Amino acid sequence: MFDLQRVSVAYGAARVLKGISLRIREGEKAVIIGPSGAGKSTLLKKLYELRQAQCAFIHQDYALVAQLSAFHNVYIGRLDQHSTIHNLLNLLKPQKAELSHITPIFRAIGMEEKMFARVSTLSGGQQQRVAVGRAIYRRSSIILGDEPVSAIDPHQAGGLLGLVKSSADTVILAMHDVQLALAAFPRVIGLREGRVFLDLPSEEVGEDTLADLYRRS
């Protein structure tokens, strides 16, 4: 699915990714961890660029249209799959078919009663769920996510992660909550200063390795 060979990315003079090699097979569920500034987001973006059409992306800042309803924001996930006319009609008045597809997603993310609320009126956690809902509705084979449950309380984060994992064949997320990441994903990729520091099955990641990954330089 993804096969990176010594990929580097620089923003101006600052090199963010320094020769990353990484292979991710179809159907894999992997999580990227590492200290802030290690290049997690950049790596995800790189992966997204490689397979845009097959990907759904959950943005760290949600990238929602605050002025539209939660329903429409989720619908945006498949904007490219429908005709322009259909999109405009659905903007004017939610179409039956779309309602029947989208309502179950809102049920799953636990926001059924907020479906027609304007996004700007929702809390941060609720907005993040909508962003997740949009990715799920896209029904793509790959979901990439940048901190997709960061604003959600720990009790519910696990459930939502499970939902994301089960919604696409291949799932790659960047997370800062290491415990949650290790518990939910079989493969862990640790980034440090723009390089792959570790790439292990999660059960092999020990306390020492983590301490090394996050130690101050």
Residues that bind another protein (CB under 8 A): 52-53, 57, 59, 61-69, 71-73, 76-82, 84, 87-88, 91-94, 116-118, 131, 134, 138
**Phi, psi of 89, rounded to the nearest 5 degrees:** -60, -40
What are the angstrom distances between the C-alpha of 2 and each of 142, 166, 197?
11, 20, 18
Q: Which residue number, 79 or 182, has a Cβ lying nearer to another protein?
A: 79
Least distance CB 202 / another protein (angstroms): 30
Q: Which residue number, 148 or 190, has a Cβ lying nearer to another protein?
A: 148
Q: Which residue number, 5 or 84, has a Cβ lying nearer to another protein?
A: 84
Q: Which residue number, 140 or 170, has a Cβ lying nearer to another protein?
A: 140
Least distance CB 63 / another protein (angstroms): 3
Q: Which residue number, 29 or 78, has a Cβ lying nearer to another protein?
A: 78
Strand order in the sheet with 195-201: 55-58, 142-146, 170-174, 29-33, 187-192, 195-201
Least distance CB 128 / another protein (angstroms): 12
Show the tokens assigned to 194.
């723009």
Provide the 3-class DSSP secondary structure of residue 153: coil
Least distance CB 155 / another protein (angstroms): 27
**Phi, psi of 28, rounded to the nearest 5 degrees:** -80, 150
Q: Which of 69, 51, 34 is nearest to 146 (CA)?
A: 34
Are the C-beta atoms of 73 and 120 separated by less than 8 Å?
no
Least distance CB 134 / another protein (angstroms): 7
